[in-house]
Amino acid sequence: MTETFVQKQKGSFDYIIVAGPTASGKSELALDLATWLDGEIINADSMQLYSNLEILSARPNKIDLEIVRHHLYGIFDANHRTSVAEWLQSLRSTVNEVKAREKLPIIVGGSGMYLNVAVEGLSPIPEISLSIHKDCIKQLSEEGGKKFRSRLKKYDPILAERLVDGDSQRLIRAMSVFKSTGKPLSFWQKLPNEGRLSGLALKLLLLPPRETLYQRINRRVDKMLVSGALEEIKLLAEMNLDPTLPLMKALGVRQLMAVVNGTLLLDDAADLIKRDSRRYAKRQMTWLRNNYHAEIFLKKKLSESLAQKIFPFIRHK
């Protein structure tokens, strides 16, 4: 962010989006913005939507919730299969409610698809049958990615050419869409998007140096374990949930489930969670650099001097 940018901009903004990889400090940044700019925070993290992983998903704590009003955190049970379309509908409703109170909506998260659809909307794909989705998961598991993608080429050659054998989530999605609608996903993606937020977004990106971020990730995992993440997973294990549920794919769930089942030591699980979190953060950083075009770029939390430069500009919204 530069002073020149602040001086040049004269438009108004209807909401702010704060993006960043896991453990970057984006939630703290959003809290500061909401406090200083009389705003309310809205979640754009797919795992923080669930009530059962308060610790492992790093949801805002009770103190944060008392300081600023938060929305769309912990709104679904573990057995719920939410979608980006469902979140977008909730987001639109929530943003309107926040604006009606004359507060500034501040959307915060690191889920790339969620950030994209907030600004650009979503392809008008009909609802996908759950049974078909499960059948496609089973088919991929039995056939492997290479054979499954080869089969997908018969129905959706355009998308199959863009995907790789190991991209199981997108392969399953593409096959599920075709089997549910009779049309390839690439067909739906060519249609005009729907449901985007109205108005203009001010996009902030918090992207710390990689070493700094990795250190923050390691410390966060240690803090989660001390704060009761394993006990949280024990309660989850008692629910005997379908392993294909979105929540079961959250960072750390698989490793701590192994600890609960007695097949992995806690120290080894901690190391694996840190490693997987660092890899996930690396993918997030790559996506954010290439796809998230921010007006304000930060390498660390806002300093007081920088805040003094940008806040009067943002208040002009």
Please report the domains of the chain, with CATH numbers, ordered by start residue. 3-122+194-315 (3.40.50.300), 130-189 (1.10.20.140)
- pLDDT at position 37 is 87
Give the count of beta carbons closer than 10 Å to the beta carbon of residue 100: 8
The per-residue pLDDT for range 129-140, each reduced to its tens digit, is 889 999 999 999
What are the CB-based long-range contacts (under 8 Å, 24+) for 289-295?
A: 289/207, 291/112, 291/116, 292/19, 292/112, 292/115, 292/203, 292/205, 293/203, 294/19, 294/203, 294/204, 294/205, 295/1, 295/5, 295/9, 295/202, 295/203, 295/204
Residue with tokens 């990730």: 217
Cβ atoms of 210 and 175 closer than 8 Å:
no
- pLDDT at position 13 is 84
pLDDT over 60 at 313, yes or no: no
- pLDDT at position 11 is 44
Strand-pair partners of 104:
39
**pTM (two decimals):** 0.85
**Lowest mean per-residue pLDDT among 173-177, 275-279, 312-316:** 312-316
Query: How far apart (Å, rounded) are the C-alpha atoms in residues 40 and 33?
Result: 9
Cβ atoms of 282 and 23 closer than 8 Å:
no
φ, ψ at 204 (rounded to 5°)? -110, 145
State the greatest distance between any 2 C-alpha atoms of the chain, in Å, as a whole number: 60
Cβ atoms of 203 and 292 closer than 8 Å:
yes
The per-residue pLDDT for range 84-117, each reduced to its tens digit, is 999 999 999 999 999 999 999 999 998 888 999 9
Average the pLDDT over 231-241 and give the result. 96
- pLDDT at position 314 is 60
pLDDT over 70 at 304, yes or no: no
- H-run or E-run covering 202: strand 201-206
Q: Predicted confidence band at 302 (pLDDT cuts at 50, 70, 90)? A: low
Work out whether the CA dihedral 175, 139, 134, 72 comes out positive or negative.
Answer: negative
